[in-house]
């Protein structure tokens, strides 16, 4: 930054008040080796050279070929109209629509997004989106602690490992305790919940692909006076019971699978919906419908619970922004495919996943995911999953998300199918895996 409004005199005055001799002294707690590291940078390039260099880096990405990647992010078909509408300048350049008199279009779009997410989850109120699925889980846990006045959260080991890591970070910062419930096989144990628990968090389908008994788990949480937080795949709600049907108080998740491309890991966005009783505990912002002085329908930011708008002590979150453009993209996608179309997309994934599971079983790769599954499942592998994934990638196939060792399944990998998965894709994958297995047998 070449311009700063602070004069040398201003800076010295601030340093005198703090009681340090210079700006460098502010970083005395950092190791000397990282304060002013020597940067061995290559010689500068001209514009043409930079473009060629960046293109060479982009060319390393392998985006074509059969795709069986899941683990929280999957590739789905996105109608051309979705990107055409999402990336209009009126939406792309907008930040936060604080002034309703000049932002009715974006406000209405976010209102429609909220309405659709409420319809999907079966709950009463949605905010205008969060950063991603992981922070949505963490925000839901903080909400539960505020509402119940308790200081402990129970989370199923079936919740995505990255979500649990994020949850641990958030709760550690506020001095709350996180208790993990181990899986029985690949299902969440329906344990007795203690009376000092603020919320129980369960994912469905869980990280290993298993469909959980959400009604029983919800009942157990409520019997202890705790809130029940459902972490859900929004696409699965086109065919599975929605959180509202089994009594969830809060539903959260990642919205990437409804209208957003994987984009090498993001950006996507997180969603959160709650019952009416919890509405005023929601983080972020809520867009509401109102009427102007002439009685015409209009849209405004109804609730704004972040620290920018109210005193920090009363703020529900320190969210400074969100991924509202990605949420808007989901709203356009849902409008494009409609309820029946969304169901057809979900059913197609289930059918292809069933075909994939049978094909892998025929070559000796047994499914580890127990009971019913949606469009993803774990299989037992003869070698580490990351090696299988690398060998598949070398053959132009994307697949096999490694299952962490903490699950105790040995060498295991996740495979996902979607409406884009063709029978030819499955045949290609099976042929590649047979080749990998045969090479292993030959080496032994």
Kindly state the average pLDDT of the residues 6-10: 91
pLDDT higher than 80, residue 214 = yes
- Give pLDDT, residue 10: 94
Do 226 and 371 belong together in one domain?
no
Helix or strand (DSSP H, E) at 167: helix 161-173
Kindly state the average pLDDT of the residues 393-397: 95
- Give pLDDT, residue 364: 95
- Give pLDDT, residue 342: 98
In a domain, 45, yes or no: no
Do 362 and 290 belong together in one domain?
no
- Give pLDDT, residue 315: 72
Do 215 and 86 belong together in one domain?
yes
Do 281 and 354 belong together in one domain?
no
pLDDT higher than 70, residue 95 = no
* Contact status, residue 267 vs residue 326, Cβ threshold 8 Å: yes
pLDDT higher than 80, residue 202 = yes
Do 269 and 150 belong together in one domain?
yes
Do 120 and 221 belong together in one domain?
yes
In a domain, 266, yes or no: yes
Instruction: Give how far Cα 437 sits from Cα of 195, 366, 409, Å.
Output: 50, 13, 19
- CATH number for the domain including 160? 3.40.640.10
Nearest-angstrom CA–CA distance, 103 and 107: 6
- Closest residue by Cα to residue 236 from 121, 322, 129, 139: 121
Last residue of a domain, one of 334, 359, 382: 334
In a domain, 147, yes or no: yes
74 preceded by cis ω (within 30°)? no
Do 378 and 427 belong together in one domain?
yes
Kindly state the average pLDDT of the residues 187-195: 92
Do 287 and 394 belong together in one domain?
no
Whole-number average pLDDT of the chain: 92
Do 207 and 327 belong together in one domain?
yes
pLDDT higher than 60, residue 1 = no
β-pair partners for 379: 367, 413
- Give pLDDT, residue 312: 63
Do 330 and 349 belong together in one domain?
no
- Write out the residue range of the structural domain in which residue 284 sits: 80-334
**DSSP E strand boundaries for 346-397:** 376-380
Do 236 and 369 belong together in one domain?
no
Name the CA dihedral angle for 94, 100, 102, 105, rounded to a multiple of 10 degrees.
60
**Number of domains composing the chain:** 2
Share of the chain above pLDDT 90, in %: 78
Confidence of residue 218 (pLDDT cuts 50, 70, 90): very high
Last residue of a domain, one of 307, 334, 361: 334
Nearest-angstrom CA–CA distance, 170 and 270: 16
- Closest residue by Cα to residue 120 from 277, 262, 233: 233
In a domain, 217, yes or no: yes
Confidence of residue 320 (pLDDT cuts 50, 70, 90): low
In a domain, 31, yes or no: no
What are 310's two structure tokens? Answer: 């109210």
What are 332's two structure tokens? Answer: 């356009």
Last residue of a domain, one of 334, 368, 400: 334
Q: What is the pLDDT of residues 265-312, one digit of tens each?
A: 888 999 999 999 999 999 888 999 988 889 999 998 888 755 556 666
- Give pLDDT, residue 346: 98
In a domain, 58, yes or no: no
HSE of 420 in the Cβ direction (CA atoms, 13 Å)? 16
Q: Which of 35-49, 106-120, 200-214, 368-382 has the lowest mean pLDDT?
A: 35-49
Do 305 and 347 belong together in one domain?
no
Q: Which of 90-94, 261-265, 410-414 has the lowest mean pLDDT?
A: 90-94
- CATH number for the domain including 401? 3.90.1150.10
In a domain, 69, yes or no: no
The crossing angle, in degrees rounded to 10, of helices 161-173 and 133-148 is: 40
What are 405's two structure tokens? Answer: 């060792």
- Closest residue by Cα to residue 95 from 323, 370, 250: 323
In a domain, 256, yes or no: yes
């Amino acid at each position: 930054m070449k311009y700063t409004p602070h004069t040398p005199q201003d800076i010295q005055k601030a340093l005198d008040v703090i009681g340090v001799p210079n700006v460098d002294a502010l970083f005395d707690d950092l190791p000397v080796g990282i304060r002013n590291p020597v940067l061995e940078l290559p010689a500068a390039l001209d514009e043409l050279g930079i473009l060629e260099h960046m293109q060479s880096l982009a060319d390393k990405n392998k985006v074509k070929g059969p795709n069986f990647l899941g683990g929280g992010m999957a590739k789905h078909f996105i109608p051309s109209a979705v990107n055409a509408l999402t990336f209009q300048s009126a939406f792309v350049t907008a930040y936060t629509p604080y002034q309703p008199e000049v932002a009715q279009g974006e406000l209405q779009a976010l209102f429609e997004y909220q309405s659709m997410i409420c319809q999907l989850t079966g709950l009463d109120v949605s905010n205008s989106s969060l950063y991603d699925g992981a922070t949505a889980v963490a925000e839901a846990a903080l909400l539960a602690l505020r509402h119940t006045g308790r200081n402990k959260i129970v989370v199923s080991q079936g919740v995505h490992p990255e979500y649990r890591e994020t949850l641990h970070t958030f709760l550690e910062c506020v001095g709350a305790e996180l208790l993990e419930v181990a899986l029985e096989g690949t299902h969440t144990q329906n344990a007795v919940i203690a009376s000092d628990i603020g919320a129980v968090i369960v994912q469905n389908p869980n990280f290993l692909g298993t469909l959980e008994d959400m009604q029983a788990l919800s009942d157990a949480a409520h019997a202890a006076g705790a809130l029940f937080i459902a972490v859900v795949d929004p696409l699965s709600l086109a065919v599975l019971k929605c959180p509202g049907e089994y009594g969830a108080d809060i539903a959260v998740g990642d919205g990437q699978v409804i209208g957003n491309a994987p984009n090498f890991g993001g950006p996507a966005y997180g969603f959160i919906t709650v019952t009416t009783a919890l509405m005023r505990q929601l983080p972020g912002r809520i867009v509401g419908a109102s009427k102007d002085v002439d009685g015409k329908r209009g849209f405004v930011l109804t609730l704004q619970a972040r620290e920018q708008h109210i005193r920090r002590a009363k703020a529900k979150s320190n969210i400074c922004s969100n991924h509202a453009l990605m949420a808007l993209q989901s709203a356009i996608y849902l409008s494009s495919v409609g309820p029946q179309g969304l169901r057809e997309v979900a059913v197609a994934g289930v059918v292809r996943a069933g075909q994939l599971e049978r094909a892998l079983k025929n070559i000796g790769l047994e499914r580890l995911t127990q009971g019913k599954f949606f469009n993803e499942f774990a299989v037992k592998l003869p070698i580490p999953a990351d090696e299988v994934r690398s060998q598949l990638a070398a053959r132009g196939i994307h697949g096999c998300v490694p299952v962490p060792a903490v699950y105790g399944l040995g060498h295991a990998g996740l495979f996902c199918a979607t409406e884009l998965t063709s029978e030819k894709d499955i045949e290609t994958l099976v042929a590649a895996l047979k080749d990998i297995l045969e090479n292993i047998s030959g080496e032994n």
